[in-house]
């Protein structure tokens, strides 16, 4: 995905950076916006509300 892509965040909490971080966001402080461990994936944003970028992310999840 391009560096200029944007996703819709609405939460007031965050997951810290760690060994399972696969996507990072820097807003006020760095945090995990995507995580992966074993066969589990999770994101800290709403791909369904993130327009074209979110649609591509959902397509990517389907292909895993």
Q: How far apart are the C-alpha atoms of 60 and 20, rounded to whole Å? A: 18
pLDDT of residue 38: 97
Model confidence pLDDT, tens digit, residues 4-63: 778 888 877 889 999 999 999 998 899 999 999 999 999 988 888 889 988 998 999 899
* pLDDT value for 40: 94
* Integer Cα distance of 7 and 10 in angstroms: 10
| Domain boundaries defined on the chain | 21-62
DSSP run (H or E) holding 35: strand 29-37
If we measure between CA atoms, which residue out of 58, 50, 56 comes closest to residue 8? 50
Look at residue 22 in the predicted model and tell me its pLDDT: 94
pLDDT at position 1: 47
Given a cut of 70, is residue 3 above it in pLDDT?
no
Sequence-ordered alpha helix ranges (H) in the chain:
51-62
């Amino acid at each position: 995905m391009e560096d200029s892509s944007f996703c819709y965040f609405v939460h007031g909490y965050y997951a810290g950076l760690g060994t399972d971080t696969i996507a990072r966001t820097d807003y006020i402080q760095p945090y995990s916006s995507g995580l992966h461990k074993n066969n589990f994936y999770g994101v800290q944003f709403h791909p369904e509300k993130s327009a074209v970028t979110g649609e591509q992310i959902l397509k990517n999840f389907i292909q895993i």
